[in-house]
């Protein structure tokens, strides 16, 4: 059967969003989007109520009959009735919350955290043999946290087994209880040294829902995360979702397994990066967490900064960034006390939105710091591996410098996708562009985009069923192209020439040559919609991708904003002098027509 009509929902913690996709000619396109409040909590305690309400909105907007009472009509009967497939993602009920345990904190425990994060989980706690805690303290933590699942790893294949067996005994002694469903066993996945499977099984099989997958670190310099990730998804469906209110019913409706929302977004970013063979990065800034996804050198990484968000976690942004780092992005004088009070008010009333231009500037200053800190966290996790294959004893393992250089190389980053209210719903697209540039400080040439209406979770789960449909809708309806950022790396003297950008007349809408000479410390906006070949000529101390002072000729793409030339230098530094800093911010805001 050819799939022509697709219905997808994403059950978020507050809103359930439904989209309808149809095949028009040879391509798939978004038809309409509907939404309704999520109903996983009291008084409804049934997630399907919110799903049905969001589908009813799709019915109203399209005039198409999708529901027969409370049943989705499948397959399509005609153009006016039914859908071919129905799929869903979910982060309702707090999403997937996991605890990971490993022998060496900077090695197997870190690999386990990467496996859990890649599967769409929030990692609540990492326990390791060398984390400096006493056994009773670890047992207390396991008991108190009540995760949805535990991932236990440790040891390379053929290495010592005593340390990982001790960790298993700690988990067994804690007798952990799951968050949902008082009458079922907590899922524990073992992905460690294959020689330790027997002793670990003996301890955990009777007390938990125990399963074994391939070692995530079979040798020191290789990670094997896919089997653990797949198992986590499977157990998420069988155990966690099955015990959340109404999910059993929802699972009976879907034509593919329900995925955790962040896992689905990650699948999409991974597919885009790998299918296009580019360096790609996605960021989703929410009310409570900020997720960063990246594909560099063909390696996918995801991190969750569970304490950085724009409403519920906004006070954590202040605590982690410090008042001065937020103040530096505010383009006017204001007392520190006033800023602290505004941030606390937002935490108390998380659903409020800025009412004045001043409030908007403050909120976007906070967003820059939340994004910067989440990216800093991501860089520390997205690292290469080092190690010696022959190292077989635990003492050798402790001695290894195991995590290598960060895989994140801004010069090879081709695409940034921004998502979440602060970026997708910024009143002007130039604001979203500048927030992305200030937070991530891209180098060379980088395409900036935003997710138009937060469709990435739907498309991530769709990519597992129909890759063409997911890619068609992603490139044509989901992505809003803001434009290209050209940012030379290097520093120089303010006011001295930094870079020249030339676009020939035949490539421009007005039929005139574009030539911009940009001085160090300035930002320039070139309104430019289509694609064109640009000549980028940096001055001697600056690099735009080919080395210092070397010219680059490449095709670049404009968009709703155009081409932004950022000649503020990398590393980027704001003036310490308050008057000069405010002057610079306002100069850049004016140049880019931000407010």
What would the 3-class secondary structure string for 104-172 be?
CCCCHHHHHHHHHHHCCEEEEEEEECCCCCCHHHHHHHHHHHCCCEEEECCCCCCCCCHHHHHHHHHHH
Evaluate whether 514 touches 491 at the Cβ level (below 8 Å): no
Peptide bond into 571 cis (omega under 30): yes
Q: What is the dihedral of CA 89, 95, 96, 98, to 10 degrees?
A: 160
Q: What pLDDT shows up at residue 397?
A: 37
Q: d(Cα 427, Cα 49) in Å, to the nearest integer? A: 32
- The list of the chain residues with pLDDT below 70 reads 93-94, 181-182, 385-404, 506-510
Q: What pLDDT shows up at residue 399?
A: 35
Phi, psi dihedral angles at 77 (to 5 degrees) = -90, -40
Q: d(Cα 218, Cα 281) in Å, to the nearest integer? A: 28
Residue 5: closest CA among 75, 95, 65: 75
pTM of the model: 0.86
DSSP for 230-268, please give it. HHHHHHIIIIIIHHSTTHHHHHHH-SS--EEHHHHHHHH
CB neighbours of 198 closer than 8 A, spacing ≥ 6?
Answer: none
Q: What pLDDT shows up at residue 90?
A: 87
Q: What is the dihedral of CA 131, 136, 140, 146, to 10 degrees?
A: 70
CB neighbours of 295 closer than 8 A, spacing ≥ 6?
Answer: 269, 270, 272, 273, 274, 278, 279, 280, 281, 301
Evaluate whether 418 touches 424 at the Cβ level (below 8 Å): yes
Q: What pLDDT shows up at residue 512?
A: 79
Instruction: Please give the structure tokens belonging to residue 7.
Output: 């219905």
E strands within 495-595?
Answer: 497-503, 514-519, 523-526, 531-538, 552-557, 563-566
Q: d(Cα 276, Cα 549) in Å, to the nearest integer? A: 29
Q: d(Cα 575, Cα 330) in Å, to the nearest integer? A: 13
* Cα three-residue angle 485-534-450, rounded to 5 degrees: 30
Q: Tokens 């080092």 sit at which residue? A: 386
Q: d(Cα 396, Cα 441) in Å, to the nearest integer? A: 38
Instruction: Please give the structure tokens belonging to residue 94.
Output: 């707090």
Residue 483: closest CA among 510, 523, 511, 450: 450
* Cα three-residue angle 455-459-460, rounded to 5 degrees: 115
Q: d(Cα 19, Cα 32) in Å, to the nearest integer? A: 6
**Left if phi > 0, otherwise alpha if psi is -120 to 50, otherwise beta: which for 258?**
beta
**Left if phi > 0, otherwise alpha if psi is -120 to 50, otherwise beta: which for 173?**
alpha
DSSP for 433-476, please give it. HHHHHHHH---EEEEEEEESSS-HHHHHHHHTT-HHHHHHHIII
Domains of the chain are: 5-92 (3.30.420.40), 95-253 (3.40.50.2300), 281-591 (no CATH)
Peptide bond into 75 cis (omega under 30): yes
Residue 13: closest CA among 262, 294, 240: 262
Evaluate whether 285 touches 371 at the Cβ level (below 8 Å): yes
Encode burial over 242-275: b for 16+ CB neighbours within 10 A, e otherwise.
ebbbbbeebeebbbebbbbbbbbbbbbbbbbbee
Helices (H), 477-565: none
Helices (H), 254-306: 261-276
Q: What pLDDT shows up at residue 240?
A: 73
Q: What pLDDT shows up at residue 234?
A: 85
pLDDT in tens, 564-592: 999 999 999 999 999 999 999 999 999 99
Q: What pLDDT shows up at residue 510?
A: 66
């Amino acid at each position: 059967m050819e799939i022509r009509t697709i219905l997808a929902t994403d059950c978020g913690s507050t809103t359930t969003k439904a989209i309808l996709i149809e095949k028009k000619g040879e391509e798939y396109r978004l038809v309409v989007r509907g939404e309704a409040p999520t109903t996983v909590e009291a008084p409804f305690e049934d997630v399907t109520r919110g799903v049905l309400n969001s589908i009813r909105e799709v019915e109203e907007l399209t005039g198409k009959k999708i529901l027969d009472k409370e049943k989705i009509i499948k397959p399509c009967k005609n153009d006016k009735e039914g859908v071919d497939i129905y799929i869903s993602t979910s982060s309702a009920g707090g999403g997937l919350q996991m605890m990971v345990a490993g022998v060496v904190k900077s090695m197997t425990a870190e690999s386990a955290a990467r496996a859990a994060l890649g599967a769409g989980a929030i990692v609540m706690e990492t326990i390791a043999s060398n984390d400096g805690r006493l056994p009773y303290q670890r047992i207390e933590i396991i008991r108190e946290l009540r995760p949805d699942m535990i991932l236990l790893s440790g040891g390379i294949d053929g290495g010592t087994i005593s340390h990982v067996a001790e960790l298993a005994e700690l988990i067994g002694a804690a007798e952990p209880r799951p968050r949902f469903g008082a009458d079922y066993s907590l899922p524990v996945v073992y992905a460690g040294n294959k020689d330790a499977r027997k002793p670990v099984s003996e301890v955990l099989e009777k007390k938990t829902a125990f399963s074994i997958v391939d070692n995530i670190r079979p040798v020191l310099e290789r990670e094997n995360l896919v089997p653990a990730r797949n198992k986590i998804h499977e157990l998420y469906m069988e155990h966690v979702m099955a015990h959340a209110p109404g999910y059993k019913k929802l699972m009976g409706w879907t034509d593919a397994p329900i995925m955790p929302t962040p896992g689905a977004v990650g699948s999409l970013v991974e597919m885009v990066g790998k299918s296009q063979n580019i360096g790609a990065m996605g960021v989703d800034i929410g009310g409570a967490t900020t997720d960063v996804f990246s594909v560099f050198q063909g390696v996918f990484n995801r991190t969750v900064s569970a304490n950085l968000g724009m409403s519920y976690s906004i006070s954590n942004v202040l605590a982690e960034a410090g008042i001065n780092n937020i103040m530096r992005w505010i383009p006017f004088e204001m007392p520190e006390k006033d800023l602290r009070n505004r941030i606390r008010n937002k935490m108390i009333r998380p659903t409020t939105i800025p009412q004045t231009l001043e409030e908007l500037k403050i909120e976007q200053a906070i967003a820059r710091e939340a994004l910067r800190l989440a990216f800093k966290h991501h860089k520390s996790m997205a690292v290469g591996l080092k190690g010696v294959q022959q190292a077989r004893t635990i003492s050798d393992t402790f001695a290894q410098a195991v995590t290598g250089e960060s895989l994140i190389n801004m010069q090879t980053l081709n695409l940034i996708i921004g998502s979440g209210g602060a970026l997708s719903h910024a009143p002007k697209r130039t604001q979203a562009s500048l927030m992305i540039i200030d937070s991530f400080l891209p180098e060379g040439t980088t395409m900036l985009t935003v997710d138009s209406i937060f469709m990435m979770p739907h498309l991530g789960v769709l990519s597992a069923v129909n890759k063409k449909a997911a890619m068609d809708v992603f490139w044509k309806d989901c992505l809003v192209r803001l434009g290209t950022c050209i940012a030379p790396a290097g520093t120089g003297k303010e006011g001295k020439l930094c870079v020249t950008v030339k676009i020939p007349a035949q490539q421009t809408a007005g039929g005139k040559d574009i030539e911009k000479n940009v001085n160090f410390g300035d930002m320039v906006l070139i309104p430019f919609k289509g694609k064109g070949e640009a000549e980028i000529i940096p001055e001697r101390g600056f690099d735009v991708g080919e080395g210092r002072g070397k010219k680059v000729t490449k095709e670049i793409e404009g968009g709703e904003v155009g081409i932004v030339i950022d000649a503020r230098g990398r590393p980027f530094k704001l003036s310490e002098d308050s008057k000069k800093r405010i002057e610079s911010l306002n100069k850049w805001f004016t140049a880019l027509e931000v407010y």
